[in-house]
Amino acid sequence: MANFLFIGGTGIISAAAVHRATALGHQVTVLNRGRSSTRTLPEQTEFLTADIRDPGSVRAALGTREFDAVVDFVAFVPEHVQSDLDLFTGRTAQYVFISSASAYQKPPATVPVTEETPLVNPFWQYSRDKIACEELLRASSGINWTIIRPSHTYDRTALPTTGGWTVIDRMRRGVPVFVHGDGTSLWTLTHTDDHAVALVGLLANPVAYGEAYHITNEDPLPWNDIYLKLGRAAGVEPQLVHVASQTIAAIHPAWGPGLVGDKAYSMIFDNSKVRSVVPDFAPVIDFDEGARQIIEWYDADPARQVVDPDEDATIDRICAFATSVANSVAGSAAP
């Protein structure tokens, strides 16, 4: 069995990977600044306390230890990757960088997206930073690397809606919520337990050295269905208002990059490459089950049901604007 180091091992993607690796008999060490109460890890997990942004603290925590694979779940800019290369070259057989499927060409020229799809995203700085990280890693020498590009990966704590729990609260209050575009663009949601099967299968696997893989579900949903499934899991039939992504971005710029730079486009993926290396990867958790898990988790503790009054007011403005435009168009078209 292998020995893995996970940097930031308590997040949505990483915690499930810890559970998967441990269940397969691997030893997992998690390096983090502190423990999370949101996601518990197996009792066999070894915890090291250090700040990955402070290389001296990492060296002190690790001593002379070496690993079969090091996975950094919290590297976002080239400086983070360079620091990792300085820390782990000669200390691990494989360095794994968690990139993002949002780095793929937007809008995509063709679908399904493969690993050969160009990495070009002019709309979102987060994605451009991930692309720059990949370029740095490809130019490096002296370390075996693997790049993972998750798409929209979620667990029971993670609502895919723009506006988080505030959206579910509005649904239950019987007031409108917006869906970007006309709600028919296709989006791929991947449960973290499914994602973990492929991710762990790529670790300490020489076939994966020097390769990039996306790991996603292959059953995309229209955004209308995503909102409807969440509403129905919450016990209501939601009122949906459709608004152009560019309009949402103009009214609330903070939501713009993630919409205009990612969610506005139909994203369908071909996972042939990762399945050729990890035949066990076959996502089984659909979003009916995922939505049920999410709502049950939030309903289990009212303290989790945080409504942001500013976001609530912003959603009101967006829905009101879209409704007024629709009424004006309908009025002008009347005989």
Work out the pLDDT band at 38, boundaries 50, 70, 90.
Answer: confident
Q: For the chain, what is the mean pLDDT? A: 95
Work out the pLDDT band at 335, boundaries 50, 70, 90.
Answer: low
Return d(Cα 183, Cα 151) in angstroms, integer: 19
Pick the CATH number of 3-156+189-215 from 3.40.50.720, 3.40.50.920, 3.40.50.1980, 3.30.70.380: 3.40.50.720
Q: What is the pLDDT of residues 48-70, one digit of tens each?
A: 999 999 999 999 999 999 999 99
The answer to whether residue 47 scores a pLDDT higher than 90 is yes
Q: What mean pLDDT comes out for the span 206-217? A: 98
The answer to whether residue 325 scores a pLDDT higher than 90 is no
Q: Calculate Rg over the CA atoms of the chain.
A: 21
Three-state helix/strand/coil letters over the chain: CCEEEEECCCCHHHHHHHHHHHHCCCEEEEEECCCCCCCCCCCCCEEEECCCCCHHHHHHHHCCCCECEEEECCCCCHHHHHHHHHHHCCCECCEEEECCHHHECCCCCCCCECCCCCECCCCCHHHHHHHHHHHHHHCCCCCCEEEEEECEEECCCCCCCCCCHHHHHHHHHCCCEEEECCCCCEECEEEHHHHHHHHHHHCCCHHHCCEEEEECCCCCEEHHHHHHHHHHHCCCCCCEEEECHHHHHHHCHHHHHHHHHHHCCCCCECCHHHHHHCCCCCCCCCHHHHHHHHHHHHHCCHHHCCCCHHHHHHHHHHHHHHHHHHHHHHHHHCC
Per-residue confidence (pLDDT) for residue 99, from 0 to 100: 98
Per-residue confidence (pLDDT) for residue 34, from 0 to 100: 73
Per-residue confidence (pLDDT) for residue 334, from 0 to 100: 47
Q: What mean pLDDT comes out for the span 91-114? A: 96
The answer to whether residue 331 scores a pLDDT higher than 90 is no
Q: What mean pLDDT comes out for the span 313-330? A: 84
The answer to whether residue 37 scores a pLDDT higher than 80 is no
Low-confidence winner among 105-119, 177-191, 269-283, 313-327 (lowest mean pLDDT)? 313-327
State what percent of residues in the chain have pLDDT above 90.
Answer: 93
Q: What is the pLDDT of residues 262-298, one digit of tens each?
A: 999 999 999 999 999 999 999 999 999 999 999 999 9
Q: What mean pLDDT comes out for the span 321-329? A: 77
Omega before residue 112 within 30° of 0, cis: yes
Domain boundaries, the chain: 3-156+189-215, 165-186+220-266+286-327
Q: What is the dihedral of CA 212, 259, 77, 215, to 10 degrees?
A: -20
Q: What is the pLDDT of residues 121-159, one digit of tens each?
A: 999 999 999 999 999 999 999 999 999 999 999 999 999
Q: What is the pLDDT of residues 225-262, one digit of tens each?
A: 999 999 999 999 999 999 999 999 999 999 999 999 99
